[in-house]
Structure 1
Amino acid sequence: MPRERITDSFTRAGLNLIKQALSIYDADLKLAVCNRPFQTMFGLPRSLVTPGADFGDTIRFLVEAGEYGAVTDRDAFVQERLDQARAFVPHYMERVRANGQTISVEGSPLPDGGWVTVYTDITSVKRQESLLRMRSEELSDQLLDHSEELALTNRRLEASIAQLQEAQAELTEMAARTRLVTEMTPAHIAHVDGDGVYTYTNRRLSSLLPERPSDIVGLSFVQALGTEVASLLEPTLAKAAAGEAAVLEFTEPISGRRVRTAFTPDDRGDGGVYLLSTDVTAEAQARAALEHTHKREMAAQLTSGLAHDFANLLTIILGLQTQLERLPLPQGAHELTAATRLAVRRGGRLLDKIANMTGARDASLAPVVIEDFIASFAPLARATLPDDITLRLTAEVTHPALMLDAGTLQDGLLNLVLNARDAIGSASGEVAVHLRDVTDTWLEITVTDSGCGFSAEALDQGLNPFFTTKGNEGSGLGLTMVYDLVKLVGGTMRLANNDIGACVTLRLPLKPAKAEPRPRLVLVVDDVAEIRAAVRDMLTDLGHRVIEAGSAEEAAALADLPGLDWILSDINLGEEDGVALLSDIAGRHPQIGLALMTSLPPADPRHSAGAARWPVLPKPLAPGMLHRLLSPEVAA
């Protein structure tokens, strides 16, 4: 027998042992529970003591049985009782039944609607009161009346106490549920009074703002939050205390987390305020990355036309210089034409940098082991430094692997190391790169040097395009390119000076690698051996196994190999078609993952035909593209 049925059987047996009659009706005036004494006390048929029986039918049966004596208008009497039941209020009463039995009736409402009623036979008690009145000639009628009233009052008081105890238990249970819900809510809920002192907290402040206490009841706003954060919030708190609801978003200085706090005035009008604070760091990071992408798109639109015209002008100038150098020129003129040619080529390199900064680019995030990243970056960075400048690389990162665009990050850090080298100059010195995680929110990377530090002007404008302190030697795009890379993933970049030199701080969203990619067996199909080798190297670096095919015929045969996970084929295989190849393999081996790679533009019919069925990777491929293709279970 199921446990629920056993529990129900025991409950009914217990209710039947109670001497009092008991009935419970729900909000729809239908019987939910009753015990056997309820049936026997009023002589009710089985249909009226079955769950679901209508309260009105029961009242009508009792009226017709004479329970309430002579009733002139039975329908009106029943309707009156139904109206009283729908507007049920707690009550205690005593009445004499038609058979001479005296009963007390005690009713209490239920929290979700409906009510419970207990009927007690008090005939013997009333009989003793009557005998006491008849036999006690020495007692005055007034004393007897008071005695009866006192007994009635005591019974009513007992009923009221029971109701209050039940209400108190419900309130205690409700408060416990409310406390549990608020403490499980991933936000800080609190209340401060008119003096700025916390009167309630769900003890979630420390999870939102590190290094703060959890129990802040009785602490002032400044004591709980700290002077710096409190000063940010106090103006908005004052507005809310005056009755103006508001929402404030701010950055917590210690952790760098973005927090949104809603201030709601307490409607009691005593200057109190309710506060709801949530961590919106991930939202802010995504919003910043999206805004920066939109800025890049706008910059690309603005600069593409100018860059095109400028490139044409440089081409014309370069052509005229070539023609000019063929003419007989006076002494010294060739030096001028050579300088002009260098200037033109420098302008061309500048156009390339602008195109790289404003062109479409996606962050290719992939799991990166921090130790491996440092080990691969160290020789690249040391190669750019002279012997009298030392490089120090350190890391304090809790997670062994993070989701990063390793290639882009290396390029940015190399740029900063080169800037640090130039700042130190010909003197000996040190460049330090340090990685650490900040409150499980940011990956913070600092690059410091022992050079002269940033000038006031550089601190103010160093991230602006074309600003440089290197004169003709610099393009003014180095720091701007690093800033662009950081903003592209929703991070931040800050320039500062420390005791010994300059300090550049990058903060990237901390995204731990949630899973290691399972090694896959991949068939790479391309008719160019060099391309197959390049793709093979990228896949093996990601930990996968690779086999190669130089034609569609060879690939069709290798597709029958057991254990093959993926096939990555070029669309244009000389005289053969990669789309047709994958269509044939898909019919024979539906379990194999299929993808295409191509340098064809999206408008090409073959590109469109392939993209309608499978992923199409644009050439040149990048490791991040391959990782996302083969490892969908890894969080990006």
Structure 2
Amino acid sequence: MNPAPPLPDSTQRHEMLQAGLDLLDQGITVFDANLRLVAWNRPFLQLLEFPEELAQIGTPFEHFIRYNAERGEYGPGDREIQIAERVAKAASFAPHITERQRPNGRVLLLRGEPLPHMGFVTLYSDVTEQRYIENLTEHQNIQLEERVRRRTAQLENANANLSRANSENTRIAAALRRNEERLRLINDTIPILLGYVDKDEVYQYANKGYSDWYGHPEGAVTGRAVLDVIGPQVYAQVREPVKKALAGQQVTYEYQMERRGQTVYARSTLVPEITTEGETLGFFVFSHEITEQKRMEAALVQAQKMEAIGQLTGGLAHDFNNLLTVVIGNLAALQDHRPDDAEVNEFVEPALQSARRGVQLIKRLLTFSRQQPLEPQAVEIGRLIGGLAKLVRRSLPESIAVSTDVASGTVHALVDPGQLESALLNFALNARDAMPDGGRLHIATRAVELSADAGAFDVAPGRYALIEVADNGCGMDAATLARVYEPFFTTKRFGLGSGLGLSMAYGFVKQSGGGISIQSQPGQGTTVLMVLPLTTPEPDVDRPADEAPLAHGGELVLLAEDEPNVRRVVRQQLIDLGYPVIEAENGAQALAMIEQIPDIAIVVSDVIMPGGINGRQLAEQVLAGHPQMRIVLMSGYADEAEDGASDLPVLAKPFVRQDLARALQKANKS
């Protein structure tokens, strides 16, 4: 194996650093304590449109200000006063970051930092096209390669001139050392990971940010092989891009690595250094971290998945409600026709109970998936937790034991039940992820009195419903616990969590007038404590109409429903209530029958039907021509059934005969 080549001398290092500096898309200047120019790069002259002859070592800062004043950049006013003010401000230099619009319309971001021995360094960035930088990457890299070639030729010419100036060698060597220190300071300050790798895959240069990224001390990267610095895991991902760069091809790629216990992502561009003879000497590395960008992309994908699930759930709910209408309607009819048949009821009653549980399950899924916020109401917390526990048990593996402890008396809180269920389910799923090998999940509630010093919840004194969700999982350290409410923050791998669950739960609880506190330690599990304001539910008022026997009518009913099985069930329910029935398969057919049969008194119609006329359009056209006619709508969509925009009664599927009778009574009164 050939020994590693000797490290470059200080002149070569200066040239390499200056070449890398000129490759940046940002302008850089360094002025000493006497406000004289000691270092710059070509982008500085291009961004501020200064002539090259103005940029010389030792050029006073005032010359640049005067040049700008003479070309009218400072507006009207005494030119000498404007120049003096800007020079005085530079002399009393303070760190700053500012934006400035150039006369040509470009917007520059200026960042100034002091140097250890007085003087200052300024970084000029063109941020006008920042949003479009990814689309311009290829074009910029071509320009970057061209600047490398041009600068290489200039440095070769400068090296020849330096060789002829033997009497200046000592002074120039000292100046180069000072410039090297300044350039290193500049490279260590800019937020880019910079490095240079030779053709033997050995680092010849790396700035401080590059060393920190891979966990090496400053200066410990130079002279080491790429594999040794970045490790086998990362090297396996970058092996092919490195080969392409050493073959003379510019390449951009992304990679991931484990850093301080977290998975982080970076994007790198390798720009080969090629001689005029076509020989590749090595390549420059320009890298920056994209972990947060990846997290945002993952969060967006998760949000799109949730939106798709919500839309899918709504459509499935309609179909399932139609199916359950048939199942419940037939079972209820069988039970009504054979009320004293114990053998029949032995089979019918469990089937009815299971079908009704299916109705509740669909309602719960719709609650989780709906996009608009629900209205807060008085919720009995113990009953809600009892129902949710059944869903949680089905969602968790058998290795996790679920237990509940609700208060002996009823505890009501003024809260959105769907939002509360969603928050509690999120806590339970987080607990599941914290107990991969099994454990215990406990959910409890009780009424508590909070005093003025209840600082953990940040709520006003008063009576609250306390909900506790505790697990004995892996727990969280203090650093993680401090960020649990941050949107998009998650410790889960990409694709397994959006980082929005706890932040949304926190916002929901605060909007409900409550508070939340999370207690956790590594290896000790996690306990979520949530308080919500207590409320007194409105007393149930017995409605005489519900107690009275349901009226049976003899009026002719037109039933419009496109599903044959649903139509058959509803027709039988109407017949059992004493109504003669005629049927239509769609809205157009129903309209034609209404015009031909004057005895029709009531229309019972599904909301969603094929044929171009839905139930609401049918109702509008019928009432326009027959205002005395009564209409009852049916819908398998929860949103349609809850829509209060119309005065017409909307009967939510599935329903039984008594529900239909009440809807007909309501239509009679309207």
TM range (shorter): 0.3 to 0.5
Higher relative contact order (CA closer than 8 Å, sequence separation 6+): 2
Which has more radius of gyration? Answer: 1
Return the TM-score normalized by structure 1. 0.36
